[in-house]
Amino acid sequence: MIQDIYPHKLYNEYNPAAKVQENSPVLNIYNGKVLVHTEKFDNHIIAFPLKKEMPEELEYTYLFRVDDIEYFLWNEELREDLIPEGYAYVEERSIRKAGNGPCEEVFAATTGKHLSDWYRDTRFCGRCGTRMALHDKERAMSCPACGYVAYPRIMPAVIVGVKNGDQLLLTRYRTGFAYNALIAGFTEIGETVEETVMREVMEETGIRVKNIRYYKSQPWGTANDLLLGFYCEVDGDDTITMDCQELKYAKWVQREEIVLQPGDFSLTNEMMRRFKEGNEV
């Protein structure tokens, strides 16, 4: 999956003392687009600009480090005439194409996008409207007027593999992602993740489930959430009543007939593959 970058390791602790260096990689992210080296990207290699290649006098925000390399953020769009030679903006989603690498840079782009979105959306205090400032000790934004401190928000969401004997419930979204998927949805306030599993499966397909079992989690900066994977079993009638506004496809599929997504980045694809191979929990 996208976070499986061994032998490399992500250290996401905030370091307010970190200083950008000339050779520091910069994640320049704006509206879901990331600045990457064009020629290398065409050859499925992800490479970000270094600070020395960026325009002068930009103010950078420390993100994290991978091994001993510290990454910094500039989350404004550069004017066309200021974009470093050989670089261009690409959609963050396109970085997750099969074959793109190195794996640690793909994960850095997705994690950086999550943090970039949060910094972008936390520029002003949600209580009094004053412009926020970086906290001097931790990953947070603080309001100099009313003292409110805002921390990064991670939205929990579930991925659900609904089993019916040797069949798995597969779906496809009406818009956007064009490949097979599993039932998915965000947890509501006051709801347990197990209740989210039951509600989302019922809302999207009209199926009741039982024997809900946790499988694995995955950070998913693309949607700014934490994915929690579950397997469960159909409870009673297996007739599908599809939510036609959200889905264009929902069907019970035999193990051997499951068509996987391209690439190995997603928890969804891993869960489908494990069921296909008979290795689900």
Three-state secondary-structure class, residue 180: coil
pLDDT at 244 over 90: no
Identify the pLDDT of residue 174.
Answer: 81
CB-based contact 171:204 (threshold 8 Å): yes
Per-residue pLDDT at 59: 92
Residue 177's pLDDT band, with cuts at 50, 70 and 90, is confident
Confidence of residue 242 (pLDDT cuts 50, 70, 90): confident
d(CA 46, CA 60): 21
Query: How many alpha carbons lie under 13 Å from residue 118 in its C-beta half-sphere?
Result: 23
Q: What pLDDT is recorded for position 125?
A: 97
pLDDT above 90 for 239: yes
Query: Look-up: residue for tokens 């159909």?
Result: 234
Q: What is the pLDDT of residue 131?
A: 97
Predicted confidence (pLDDT) per residue in 24-46, tens digit: 999 999 988 999 999 999 999 99
Give tens-digit pLDDT for 257-277: 999 988 888 999 999 999 999
Distance from C-alpha of 164 to C-alpha of 161, rounded to nearest angstrom: 10
Residue 124 has pLDDT above 70, yes or no: yes
Q: How far is CA 138 from CA 74, 134, 148, 150, 250, in A?
A: 19, 9, 14, 11, 44
Q: Which residues pair with 250 in a beta bridge?
A: 171
CATH no., domain 10-121: 3.90.79
Number of H helices, E strands in the chain: 5, 15
Question: Which residues lie closer than 8 Å to 89 by C-beta, 6 or more apart?
Answer: 30, 33, 34, 35, 36, 77, 83
Residue type, 54: M
- For residues 103-112, give the mean pLDDT: 95
Q: CATH 3.90.79.10 spans which residues of the chain? A: 155-276
Alpha-carbon distance values, 171 to 139, 198, 222, 243 (Å): 37, 16, 20, 11
pLDDT above 70: residue 281: no
Per-residue model confidence as pLDDT tens digits over 72-100:
999 999 999 999 999 999 999 889 887 78
Only one residue has tokens 């065409």, namely 42
In percent, how much of the chain has pLDDT > 70? 99
Condensed to tens digits (0 to 9), the pLDDT of residues 41-83 reads 999 999 999 999 999 989 999 999 999 999 999 999 999 999 9
Tokens of residue 195, six digits: 């209740």
Q: What's the CA angle centered on 4, arms 101 and 46, to 5 degrees?
A: 15
Mean pLDDT, residues 183-212: 96
Q: Mean pLDDT, to the nearest integer, of 153-181?
A: 91
Mean pLDDT (the chain) is 94
DSSP string, 19-61: ---TT-BEEEEETTEEEEEHHHHHTTB--PPBGGGSPTTPPPE
Cα separation, 49 vs 104, whole angstroms: 15
Q: Per residue in 84-103, is it b (16+ CB within 10 Å) or e — as a string?
A: beebebbebeebbeeebeeb
Q: Is the pLDDT of residue 186 over 90?
A: yes
**CATH assignment, 155-276:** 3.90.79.10
